[in-house]
Amino acid sequence: MNPPVRVLYLAGSGRSGSTLVTTVLGQYDGVFAAGELRYLWQRGEVENRPCGCGRPLRDCPLWQRVRRELPTDRAAAIAAGLRGRLRMRGLPALLRRHRRGVRPVPAHPDDAALADLYAAVARHTGARVVVDSSKLPPYGALLGALPGVELRVLHLVRDPRATAFSWRRRRGLDGDADPELMSRPPVAKAALLWLVWNTVTVRLWADRAPAGYLRVRYEDLTADPEATLRRIAAFAGVDPDGGPFTGPATVRLTPTHSVAGNPSRHRTGPVPITADVQWRHNLSRRSYALVTALTAPGLRRFGYPWRRGGPGPGPAVGSGPAVVSGQTVGSGGSAQVRQSAAAGHEEG
């Protein structure tokens, strides 16, 4: 019997810095940045989209070794099955099962292939920690019930006005030249998704802090990148000294083999970690007010101001165990945030 694979699952809403965190963590010894593994079957296997290393996934030597152990001929069916099982309308039932202490996502014949995927990734990379930035809470709940998977949840949260602004940008799925765009939900929908996914993440896992759940805000991460990544590495069970930092806010990145995720996963070389704050000037008053109204309960829970130009994110005032136990990282104010709209990390 193989030891369980430790999966660091990045949960929450999109556009919260998960691609950045995944790529940086992938530089640590013993860590494999897998990217958004829930998309492996469709975007990787069926569509043969680029791996983080730049090759089409089916041409990447690492994924060739992993794929040999998987039922790749059934990839399209597995992808369709996952979409069906993880639908938004299944959320109430998922949460009811979780409260009753039973599997939140019922077992399914494809689960064996999913468990094989994580075992094969760990075996062929030699990693002690596999970083999965799939974000969708129901998929994380499914993973947590798989045999051979030890789940640790990193909950990334970002100001919903920033994520709503980010969602509206036109971006190619795999870079500017890609005619297929990343999804662009209207701000109201982006706001509601932010509230739902962050609330569900808290409901599913916050009571597992400090060993199984860590909450980090994008604003704190970009205010003090090195210290925040050290906390995340320690949480994942990785040597915090082994990171790629060449300065408090600069990393040197080598290519990863991540599946799906923001196009910025292909960046390599020296990369400054800065906050993208373009939304503060460019999000319209109407959109700001709409997103603020729709996400009000979450703003309070995660410590974001209601008024634009108000004080930066203060200490989160929610009563989640993560906060009580001091596991919410940092308390950086907006004054510390280095402004760099062009090079800022705003992605998902």
Chain positions contacting Zn ion, by CB under 5 A:
51, 53, 60, 257
Smallest separation, CB 32 to Zn ion (Å): 11
Amino acid identity at 63:
W
Smallest separation, CB 208 to Zn ion (Å): 32
How far apart, in whole angstroms, are the C-alpha atoms of residue 148 and residue 7?
Answer: 10
User: 32 or 213: whose CB is closer to Zn ion?
Assistant: 32
User: 64 or 325: whose CB is closer to Zn ion?
Assistant: 64
User: 124 or 135: whose CB is closer to Zn ion?
Assistant: 124
Q: Where are the beta strands (DSSP E) in the chain?
A: 5-12, 31-35, 129-135, 149-157, 213-217, 245-247, 250-253, 269-272
Query: Measuring CA to CA, how many Å separate 207 from each of 153, 196, 201, 202, 215?
Result: 11, 18, 10, 8, 12
User: 56 or 84: whose CB is closer to Zn ion?
Assistant: 56
User: 246 or 254: whose CB is closer to Zn ion?
Assistant: 254
User: 38 or 158: whose CB is closer to Zn ion?
Assistant: 38
How far apart, in whole angstroms, are the C-alpha atoms of residue 158 and residue 270?
Answer: 24
Smallest separation, CB 41 to Zn ion (Å): 17
User: 8 or 57: whose CB is closer to Zn ion?
Assistant: 57
Smallest separation, CB 59 to Zn ion (Å): 8
Smallest separation, CB 330 to Zn ion (Å): 33
Amino acid identity at 142:
L
Tokens of 93: 């039932």
Contacts of 16 (CB under 8 A, 6+ apart): 135, 156, 157, 158, 163, 218, 348
Smallest separation, CB 333 to Zn ion (Å): 39
Smallest separation, CB 256 to Zn ion (Å): 8
Helix (H, G, I), strand (E, B) or coil at 34: strand
Q: Where are the beta strands (DSSP E) in 108-244?
A: 129-135, 149-157, 213-217
Q: Tell how far CA 263 is from the center of its chain.
A: 14
How far apart, in whole angstroms, are the C-alpha atoms of residue 290 and residue 313?
Answer: 19
How far apart, in whole angstroms, are the C-alpha atoms of residue 272 and residue 254?
Answer: 14
